Amino acid sequence: MSEPKSETASGFSEDLTACAALVERGDAERFRVAMAAPVAARAVLFPLYAFNIEVSRAPWVTKEPMIAEMRLQWWRDALEEIASGGFVRRHEVVTPLALVLDAEGAGLLDGLVAARRWDIESEPFADGAAFTAYLDATSGHLTYVAARALGPVDEAVARDAGFALGLANWFRAIPDLEAAGKRPLPDGRAHAVRDLADEGLKRLKRARAGRAQVAPEARPALAGVGAAEAVLRQVRARPGDVAAGAIAERPFRARAGLAWRVATGRW
């Protein structure tokens, strides 16, 4: 297994510092989540969130489907190396990622990468079940893997929380996805969008009911989920806001809410 680079003055290795910078540039909300977490948790969250950024970008950095497939396969190969417990390629994200994943976690993230193949294709989701499976395999897998890497967690609780967060983020991204020629929802009619938001709220409520099944040390991985509620409630009340790109949360309110969730563990 490859070794991380030497530590910087902050106590983070150069690789972890690079992961943190990547997350700061590419996913401001998850960067705030990680920075609000204890320092030990950041060493777990930053490589996972940096990995998620790299994989989510892979289908979009080229218009050639074959090249996009190759980029995703590169990450699947890296995860296979991590799962095998042997040699792991040297890379600023892969190297620290190998230090926080076990074989099961690597396998779950492989499912995340495989699900991202939809981003390459031009076909819409076949139906609602395919869309749900995509969110479960992307946001659901990432949330569960992050939580279980930090401490004991009930899988169903983490997956419900991840689905709610993934759906809220998806609603925000729909105008950009449509501009890129994608059909991001299996049914974009107002009543269907409202039903999706309602499903997200139900899952969030169910996850919160199981909060006691998440160990305190695992809770930073779920701290960002609370911000999904405002988005899902807005979409349920005004589904037309999705296509209009009118979903937003005031930055100060978002930061204050995150700080409260991290301090209390009540995401």
Q: What is the pLDDT, as a whole number, of residue 188?
A: 94
Domain ranges of the chain: 1-116, 124-267
Q: What is the mean pLDDT of each run of 10 residues along the chain (267 residues)?
A: 51 90 96 95 98 96 92 98 96 98 98 96 92 98 98 98 98 94 95 98 98 96 93 97 85 61 71
Give the position of tokens 């981003």: 119
- What pLDDT sits at residue 249? 65
pTM (predicted TM-score):
0.92
Could you tell me which of 57, 56, 62, 71 has the C-alpha nearest to residue 112? 56
Question: What is the pLDDT, as a whole number, of residue 255?
Answer: 62
The confidence score (pLDDT) of residue 175 equals: 94
pLDDT for 9: 41
Distance, in Å, from the CA atom of 39 to the CA atom of 29, rounded to the nearest integer, reads 17
